[in-house]
Amino acid sequence: MKEYPTESIRNVSIIGHAGSGKTTLAEALLYTAGAINRMGRVEEGNTVSDYHNDEIERKNSINASLLTCEWKGMKINFLDTPGYADFTGEVKCSLRVTDSALLLLKAVEGVEVGTEIVWRYTKENNNGVVFVVNKLENENADFEKVLKSAQERFSHDVVPVQFPVHQGLTFESVIDVLKMKMLKYEHNGKGKYVEADIPAELKAKAEKMNEELIEKVAETDEKLMNKFFESGTLTPDELTQGLRSGIRSRKLFPLFCSAGSHNIGSASLLDFIVDSCPNPSEMGAVTGELQGSTPEARKEVNVPCTVSGEPVMFIFKTVSEPHVGELSFFRVYSGAIAPGLDMQNNTNGKFERMAQLYVMNGKERKEVAKLVAGDIGAVVKLKDTHTNNTLSSKAFFVMLPKVVFPQPVISMAIVSKAKGDEDKIATGLHSLHEEDPTFIVTVDPELHQTVLSGQGELHLTIITKRLKAKYGVDVDMVEPKIPYRETVKGRANEVEYKHKKQTGGRGQYGHVLIKIEPLARGSGFEFEDAIVGGVVPGRFIPAVEKGIKESMEGGVVAGYKVVDVKVTLFYGSYHDVDSDEHSFKIAGRMAFKKGFVEAKPILLEPIYTIEVTVPEEYMGDVMGDISGRRGKILGMDTDGANQVIKASVPLKDLFRYSTNLRSMTQGRGIHKQQFDHYEEVPREITDKIIAEYQKHRVEGEE
């Protein structure tokens, strides 16, 4: 496999809302560049990107795929990303290691919620962005409307480089205002075009847009601006230089036209990527943290993208492939990586020896002898290295910034279909989490459940399917139990319990009087020893407290942990022979249970704050739905053309909310949620929960 220097590499993510045609355009780009000999179709399950069984079955991307092609002697690494919010972690990983992004807009719908999410991610990672209005062959395509919405929502520096001659069913040609030519694409789908003069009726429009483009480019750099004022224009070389600089600094966002399924627009996109998108060395040094022997010794350090530097690589994705083992996808940030090289994992301090290195096209691998700074590839059989790990030479112990993954928005409990599979489930989920850090597994000892939390119902479904396929473990997903809490509203001022047992020989005796009262929310538990005169010897008092705490852990009225109460031990008695710690522990436990019931017990439920982002037309439906979930609207804000609703909702009523929200908003609504506080459960719901608990307890005793 040919080696490419850093200057001849371009790293580009393909991003956009679900259904914007990312995988199809990626297929067209590879085909036009000669990397594949026929264009696959998502509907037929034969594209290079969507090669996993899950993707073929569902006909949409679930994983980011690394694709590689050569164009004009340059190597382009594409990362084709999923559009569904369930798999947004794949987008974050991809943008972390690429310098530029093709952001696709549908020619009919234009800017959508998913578009705005990935746009924000490009800002976080400082990626250059090239917009592509795709699917211009659709009957209701409206290029001007999409262009205007992109300028309004994202930046007035979104500037068209192309516009369609005709759009809709007759779309085949574009006017390129950079070249000032008409590009007419062949009908054979090979992606090639011929240049022709601009038709007379479009000449004035093209000249006006050419002037606007040149002016926008000049505005990105002071020298170019001076030259523009002097001569009124820029040379082709100055335009290329200005475009490159403007994209890199996010001062300019060029916009192109395409119809991926007809392979229209791919060749001019490839031209632009190699001519005007920055190479890795032009993006500047990445800031890492030089590790020291102590936390105080750590310091920031710049890692320049140069082949002469110490080897540094960042693992952005881990995949377990059949017959291959674990594939670690990485970008080289400094130096060069070759098989046999010893590297140190700066997350866990362990050493790794590089095995075979590959460049990838979906699942197809080609072995390479070396990958240099700025390049992206994959390596097999790293023993102790996973996503978000930095590897470097022993001489340069540096840690690069990690990908910050989004918080989960849905949780489901999993139940094994076969007894004794618990260990296999734990092992399988641990391995799957190494591949996909966007889901979290928690084992809740209080509720005796294993809870899976992720980015959406589809996300969790895919994880459980992989658990079965890879580890042979079949599980059901059920609604997770709610971690209610028990507390009191009233007081029990004089609760007496005497534990007295005589069975021959030494007996048991413990006698206590306690007082129970509520504490402020979030205070926990307070125990006060108010014994005077030694009526309960000091050595037995810790046993009383221990008995109370045991009773609190298991709950009294509904089996949930007791919180926010104060218990005062103020009187009691003991027996010289029969009293011991065990007797007083039982007395404390039983006195607490008795007094808790007298002190007006209530249940508390977890309340979450949610932030829902939706287009304005869905506001009424979403707010009505929140109210129906016992939610309280806290406020509203705007985010571009979308509305942001902030509300507090009981966790019980957020079950499957992400799925319902997407259904209610045709996939255009998203939300995030976070625990906020505990609040009293309404009486009628409390009564149902307590009745259910008592019923199960009776059944368990039978």
The predicted-structure confidence for 667-678, as pLDDT tens digits, reads as follows: 778 898 999 999
**CATH fold label, 286-399:** Elongation Factor Tu (Ef-tu); domain 3 (2.40.30)
Domain 486-599 in CATH 3.30.230.10? The answer is: yes
What pLDDT score was predicted for residue 293?
58
What pLDDT score was predicted for residue 201?
96
Residue 639 corresponds to which tokens in the numbers above? 């985010």
What pLDDT score was predicted for residue 634?
96
Contacts (Cβ under 8 Å, ≥6 apart) of 198: 175, 180, 181, 182, 206
Strands 253-257 and 398-399: unpaired
pLDDT tens per residue across span 505-548:
778 999 999 999 999 999 999 999 999 999 999 999 999 999 99
pLDDT tens per residue across span 641-671:
789 999 999 999 999 998 899 889 877 788 9
Question: Residue 1: pLDDT band by 50, 70, 90 thresholds?
Answer: low
What pLDDT score was predicted for residue 295?
65
Q: Is residue 128 within a helix (H) or strand (E), and if so which, with residue range?
A: strand 128-134
* Residue 300 in this model has a pLDDT that exceeds 60: yes
Region 625-629 average pLDDT: 95
* Residue 180 in this model has a pLDDT that exceeds 70: yes
What pLDDT score was predicted for residue 134?
97
- The DSSP letter of residue 119 is H
Question: Residue 55: pLDDT band by 50, 70, 90 thresholds?
Answer: confident
Residue 10: strand pairing partners: 76
What pLDDT score was predicted for residue 454?
93
Task: Identify which has the larger pLDDT, 228 or 667.
Answer: 228
Q: Is 166 helix (H, G, I), strand (E, B) or coil?
A: coil
pLDDT tens per residue across span 152-166:
989 999 999 999 999
As a whole number of angstroms, the distance between CA 86 and CA 23 comes to 17
- The DSSP letter of residue 278 is P
* Residue 484 in this model has a pLDDT that exceeds 90: yes
Strands 351-353 and 357-361: unpaired
What pLDDT score was predicted for residue 157?
95
Region 103-117 average pLDDT: 92
As a whole number of angstroms, the distance between CA 604 and CA 559 comes to 13
CATH superfamily of 410-478: Elongation Factor G (Translational Gtpase), domain 3 (3.30.70.870)
CA 199, 200, 206 angle in degrees (round to 5)?
Answer: 75
Question: Residue 56: pLDDT band by 50, 70, 90 thresholds?
Answer: confident
Question: Residue 701: pLDDT band by 50, 70, 90 thresholds?
Answer: low
Q: Do domains 286-399 and 486-599 have the same CATH topology?
A: no
- In the chain, what are the domain boundaries? 6-281, 286-399, 410-478, 486-599, 604-684
pLDDT tens per residue across span 331-390:
999 999 999 999 999 888 899 999 999 999 999 999 999 999 999 999 998 989 999 999
What pLDDT score was predicted for residue 699?
65
As a whole number of angstroms, the distance between CA 643 and CA 588 comes to 54
Task: Identify which has the larger pLDDT, 259 or 407.
Answer: 259
Conformational region of residue 302, where left means phi above 0, alpha means psi within -120 to 50, and beta covers everything else: beta
Residue 326: strand pairing partners: 320
What is the assigned CATH class of domain 604-684?
Answer: alpha beta
Full DSSP string of 684-701: HHHHHHHHHHHHHHHHHH
* Residue 697 in this model has a pLDDT that exceeds 80: no
Q: How many CB atoms lie within 10 A of CB 60?
A: 18
Contacts (Cβ under 8 Å, ≥6 apart) of 448: none
Contact 265/192 with Cβ under 8 angstroms? no
Contact 332/368 with Cβ under 8 angstroms? no
CATH superfamily of 6-281: P-loop containing nucleotide triphosphate hydrolases (3.40.50.300)
Strands (DSSP E) found in 1-41: 9-16
Strands (DSSP E) found in 519-563: 525-529
Task: Identify which has the larger pLDDT, 417 or 592.
Answer: 592
